[in-house]
């Protein structure tokens, strides 16, 4: 039993290296998806703000409608602020660690074929 376990443990780096290439592809696809969704989410937050602004303007006499429109405007601004802050933080980290948009972060591997 010990010999089988030792034999299988010697093959573990082979399986780990195969897993890394699959994981790298999944991470790249996820990154592409996130990069496509970011402008859409920014646009939705801006649209939500303007929807609240329109409600606020159109509900000139109703206090509850004014409050509802004001709340939507506030949450729209908060969403835009949070998204812009996170984007700015990511850009700051990219600048400080000299990571360009098209550079690949090396994945640790075994032997000469690990990168």
Domain count of the fold of the chain: 1
On whether residue 31 sits in a domain, the answer given is yes
Q: Is residue 109 part of a domain?
A: no
Q: Domain for residue 111, yes or no? A: no
Residue 107 lies in a domain: no
Q: Is 12 helix (H, G, I), strand (E, B) or coil?
A: helix
Cβ density class 32-51: b for 16+ within 10 Å, e for less: eeeeeeeeeeeeebeebbee
- Cα(108)–Cα(115) distance, integer angstroms: 7
Q: What is the pLDDT along the chain (115 residues), one digit of tens a residue?
A: 667 666 666 666 655 555 556 666 676 777 788 778 888 989 999 999 999 999 999 987 889 999 999 999 999 999 999 999 988 898 888 888 887 766 555 555 555 554 4
- 38 belongs to a structural domain: yes
Does the global pTM surpass 0.85?
A: no
- 39 inside domain: yes
Q: Is residue 110 part of a domain?
A: no
* Residues of the domain holding 6: 2-101
Q: Is the residue at 70 inside a domain?
A: yes
Under DSSP, is residue 65 helix (H, G, I), strand (E, B) or coil?
helix
For the chain, helix, strand, coil in percent to 5 are: 80, 0, 20
Interatomic CA distance for residues 70 and 65, integer angstroms: 8
């Amino acid at each position: 039993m010990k010999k089988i376990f030792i034999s299988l443990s010697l093959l573990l780096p082979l399986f780990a290296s195969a897993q890394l290439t699959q994981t790298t592809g999944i991470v790249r696809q996820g990154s592409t998806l996130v990069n496509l969704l970011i402008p859409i989410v920014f646009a939705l937050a801006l649209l939500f703000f303007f929807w609240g602004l329109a409600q606020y303007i159109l509900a000139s006499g109703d206090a509850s409608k004014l409050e509802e429109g004001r709340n939507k405007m506030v949450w729209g601004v908060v969403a835009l602020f949070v998204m812009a802050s996170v984007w700015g933080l990511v850009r700051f980290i990219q600048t400080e660690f000299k990571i360009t948009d098209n550079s690949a972060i090396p994945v640790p591997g075994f032997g000469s074929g690990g990168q």
